[in-house]
Amino acid sequence: MSVFAIETKGLTKLHSKNRGCRNITLQVQKGSVFGFLGPNGAGKSTFVRTLLSLIHPTEGEGYILGHSIREIAARNRVGYLPELFRYPDWLTGRQLLDLHGDLCNLSHRVKKKRIDKLIDRVGLAGRGDEKIKGYSKGMQQRIGLASALLSDPEVIFLDEPTSALDPIGRKEVRDLICELRDAGKTVFLNSHLLSEAETICSHIGIINHGKLIVQGKKQDLSSIHSQVLITLVGKEEAWWKSAPSWLTHCEKRQREGGRTTWVVTLNHLDNVPDLVSYLAEKGLAVYQVTPQAPMLEDIFMYWVNRKGDEKV
């Protein structure tokens, strides 16, 4: 039996002009929260829709809970919240869930119990009997989330699940994802909101221009490079341009009272003395050098700006 909830081998879906996702080989462990991150248009939704057989692969294979995505069995224990959700707005929230419950073959008793619980859980208590027509965008996304969870799926695909939600709603969805994880479910989260993925994802895959650039445990991706925060005073014009290859990335953070703070990515923390000597040679006064654990945003920028298809 497969240890992976999701596995793909060279999965490719090309739309016109060769846009989409190509040659994606990844594994998602059961019980993990996998953040699939990438800029707009990177191919995240295309990948998920291909996995769910909403569109057909151009090439390659995919498996959900050990079943090929070409078989219906692959979709038996799956929940999905699409990015562009749109529900029949003449139904009430409860009627929509009722309909989905029937499509999932739930018994009347189980359906009623789950619907009551989910309406409450997604923050729609007291609004379930109103027509979707009168729901705000955020409320529609909430009812979509309830619908994705109705069949009590093992694997849940959430495509930008908080795009229409306010900060409170975002926190509620984060908590819900953690609950699902604690209940042993696998969550595949498509997102370009890195703060969302930062706190909840155990594993990360980064996609750009349709290609998977890197995948792995979040902490492994964090330790692949070493970042330091440096504060400098002096003539700074493009000081990094002639830096040796151990300096891989550099970004200005803030300027205050004649001092500028930069985030510098080094090959290794052993390069800190080299960095200080180099800055001194350039006539820059170093006021602070602080090694720091990179935020997900730094990891993301590092991989998206880097060339090659490495894996950790």
Put the strands of the sheet holding 67-68 in their side by side order: 20-29, 4-14, 59-64, 67-68
Interface with ligand ATP, residue 218, by CB under 6 A: no
| Both structure tokens of 105 | 């073959």
Interface with ligand ATP, residue 189, by CB under 6 A: no
Query: What's the closest the beta carbon of residue 82 comes to ligand ATP, in angstroms?
Result: 11
Binding ligand ATP (rule: CB under 6 A), the pick from 9, 53, 61, 83 is 83
Segment contacting ligand ATP by CB under 6 A, of 13-21, 65-73, 217-225, 255-263:
13-21
Interface with ligand ATP, residue 56, by CB under 6 A: no
Secondary structure class of 52 (helix, strand, coil):
coil
Closest CA to 43 of 64, 63, 22: 22
CA dist 37 and 19 (Å) reads 17
Interface with ligand ATP, residue 38, by CB under 6 A: yes
Handedness of CA 276, 277, 282, 283 (dihedral sign): positive
Binding ligand ATP (rule: CB under 6 A), the pick from 3, 15, 233, 273 is 15
Binding ligand ATP (rule: CB under 6 A), the pick from 18, 40, 107, 254 is 40
On whether the CB atoms of residues 221 and 232 are closer than 8 A, the answer is no
Interface with ligand ATP, residue 42, by CB under 6 A: yes
CA dist 189 and 91 (Å) reads 28
Query: What's the closest the beta carbon of residue 196 comes to ligand ATP, in angstroms?
Result: 13
Query: What's the closest the beta carbon of residue 300 comes to ligand ATP, in angstroms?
Result: 13
CA dist 75 and 52 (Å) reads 7
CA dist 117 and 50 (Å) reads 31
Query: What's the closest the beta carbon of residue 49 comes to ligand ATP, in angstroms?
Result: 8
CA dist 228 and 262 (Å) reads 8
Query: What's the closest the beta carbon of residue 162 comes to ligand ATP, in angstroms?
Result: 13
Residues in contact with ligand ATP by the rule CB under 6 A: 15-16, 19-20, 38, 40-46, 83, 192
